[in-house]
Structure 1
Amino acid sequence: MQRLDALRQALVSLLPPEDHPLFARLWNAVSNRPLLLRRSRPHRTLAVSVTGPQCELRCSHCNGHYLEAMRPISALDSSDYETFRSFLISGGSDCSGRVPLSGHIDRILRMPEEAGLNLHVGVQGAESLLPLKGRPVTVSYDLAGDAETVREVYGLSRPVSEIEACYLELSRHFRVVPHLTLGLRGGAISGEPHVIDFLAANPPSALTFLVFRPTPNTPYADRLAPDIHDAVDIIADAARRLACPIHLGCMRPSGIYRRRLDVLAWAAGARVIVMPEHEFVRILAAHGIPVEEQTECCSLEYS
């Protein structure tokens, strides 16, 4: 008890006064999940794009920006298979919202059989991906909770029920880790609570939260990150209602926002955090909280 009280006081010191009441409320349930941190520093996972920097959809929050840092799948060579243990295979979406992985199945199958594969598929069912069954595949699937967000962010007229149906179909064939971006609609919380309701009725193996960050040269470049208390409340609700591990993924704002978010999200129940703030990690370790290391994408199965 004294150890936990000392930890609580040390973590509070990282937060501004306006966060203290929320932190105190979250702390009441902090022991409901194992008191540890899995720090993901995914330098053994290579991000690969099947479309290079090209994307037909040009979503409002990304506009193809994040594809630019990915290795084109055509540029992979044997040295990559020696350097990296796993591959995040993504790409730009076509006009229906689908990442066109099907045209690259043969190339993916030529990768080492033991290599972990994290597939970003966009909105599609399982049929074209079935040749990959038997490989160590995780599908990362983005969920949105309302039609307005789907239309405004992705430019799609597809109903939420259709996006959810694709998720359920994929889940029948692969390990699927749903991803939920808090504030995806230009920083506004919109359909996120519906996604938690959906997942409570269809329990996942893990849930990865991302947090909208304004990105230069996108339609949302001048927007603000979501209210941090609103975002953390959704993480806490998920931690209460879902038995699975809760992840805080790589896409989130930097600076002071990130420090506050990491501390509050951990208190809310997120025990897997990608590149967590250094002082936060130091405090956990100094107070006897185990810090496990993961060198691959947080959504991949941990061993």
Structure 2
Amino acid sequence: MQEKLEKEMEIARETSWRNLGKKIVFYNPSFVFHKNHFSPWLFPSISLTGASCSLKCKHCNGKILKTMIPALTPKKLIEICMQIKKHKGLGCLISGGCLPNGSVPLKNFSEAIKEIKLKTKLKIVVHTGLITEETAFNLKNAGIDAALIDIIGSNETIKEIYHLNAKIEDFEKSLNALKKAGIPLIPHVLVGLHYGKIKGEYNALNIISRYNPSAVIIIVFFPIKGTKMEKEKPPEISEVVKIMIYARKIFPNTPIALGCARPIGKYRIELDSAAVKTGINAIAFPSEKAIKLAKSFNLEILYSNVCCSQIYEEYLKT
């Protein structure tokens, strides 16, 4: 089994190198829930709802929102972004908790985002949640650089983990809305969201494949203290690797990144190394072992302080 998996990793790696080049980008953005030696203003994460979220998903319970800079009003968002510009920041990730319908309350912020883009030229990526065509076109008009959206391929997971009265089709409608609006689309697939087990991840990738994404981000469940899933274990590393291999099969020409949301410690070291061996195109907050492995493969290594969702821009240059 291990021999078979390693062979599939090699095939995925060769496909990636052949189509996208022998290079990898290592990202180290200044999201405030990570401690690093870079300025916290380089590429911070902002929550439009503060620590509030109506869904209280079992895996998060709003905990991640508490690590973000709160901006509850358009005026406050503008003020924060002006501070980012003042401190020579590169951009920001705009996110927030969800309303009961699974959307992030972006509607009242589009004009503020437009003003920020005009005045600062900052990179702005938005984590949307479920989204309507109207809001998608408003974000396009505002000039955002990319839209991030988590895609779930299991109705059971949507209901049980997200506490959301929605279906897989609603996530696909959101993909369609963003695609119609012409915004660079960066879907995320959270591996192990269903209590650390594989449930709808392959289906999520299949759905995403219908919308020609600019990049695909793989993230991995990890238990967060104070949530209903704090005692659950992350998925087996081999299962994550299989999903990365499958992603490469159906996205042979699309940049694929291993995102910042994943377990730490020994798990991360092993997963990051496996990701390099699988030909992943980018890793956020990579382990030292992964960097050394990339060097041993003679990969061109690039470093960046923005969000790994911007991987698609790096590959547009080639």
| Fold conserved between structures, TM > 0.5 | yes
Cα separation, 2, equivalents of 1:166 and 1:284: 36
Cα separation, 1, equivalents of 2:293 and 2:255: 22
Alignment RMSD (CA, Å): 1.9
Amino acid at match of 2:216: L
Offset of residue 286 of structure 1: 4.8
Describe the superposition over 1:263-292 as per-residue Cα deviations: whole angstroms up to 9, x where unpaired: 112222311110111122023225522111
Describe the superposition over 1:48-78 as per-residue Cα deviations: whole angstroms up to 9, x where unpaired: 0111111111111110111111111226163
Amino acid at match of 2:156: E
**Counterpart position of 1:202:** 211
2:110–2:139 Cα contact (<8 Å) kept: yes
How many residue pairs get matched? 286
**Counterpart position of 2:25:** 38
Aligned residue among 125, 129, 148 for 2:132 = 125
Offset of residue 30 of structure 1: 2.1
1:81–1:111 Cα contact (<8 Å) kept: no
Unpaired runs of at least 5, structure 1:
1-17
Aligned residue among 76, 85, 100 for 2:105 = 100
Secondary structure in structure 1 of the residue aligned to 2:226: coil
Identity among equivalent positions (%) equals: 28
Cα separation, 1, equivalents of 2:194 and 2:115: 38
Cα separation, 2, equivalents of 1:27 and 1:222: 34
Amino acid at match of 1:290: E
**Counterpart position of 2:282:** 272
Secondary structure in structure 2 of the residue aligned to 1:251: coil
Cα separation, 1, equivalents of 2:138 and 2:209: 30
Cα separation, 1, equivalents of 2:144 and 2:101: 27
**Counterpart position of 1:70:** 68
Secondary structure in structure 1 of the residue aligned to 2:289: helix
Q: 1:85 to 1:176 in 2, by over 3 A?
A: same
Cα separation, 1, equivalents of 2:92 and 2:167: 30
Secondary structure in structure 2 of the residue aligned to 1:56: coil
Offset of residue 129 of structure 1: 4.0
Describe the superposition over 1:199-226 as per-residue Cα deviations: whole angstroms up to 9, x where unpaired: 3333311100100001100011010001
2:257–2:281 Cα contact (<8 Å) kept: yes
Unpaired runs of at least 5, structure 2:
31-41
Secondary structure in structure 2 of the residue aligned to 1:133: helix
Offset of residue 20 of structure 1: 6.7
Offset of residue 140 of structure 1: 0.2
Offset of residue 123 of structure 1: 0.9
Aligned residue among 147, 150, 162 for 1:142 = 150
Q: What is the TM-score normalised by the length of structure 2?
A: 0.84
Aligned residue among 287, 306, 316 for 1:296 = 306
Q: What is the TM-score normalised by the length of structure 1?
A: 0.88
Using the TM superposition, name which of 180-189 and 121-130 deviates more: 121-130
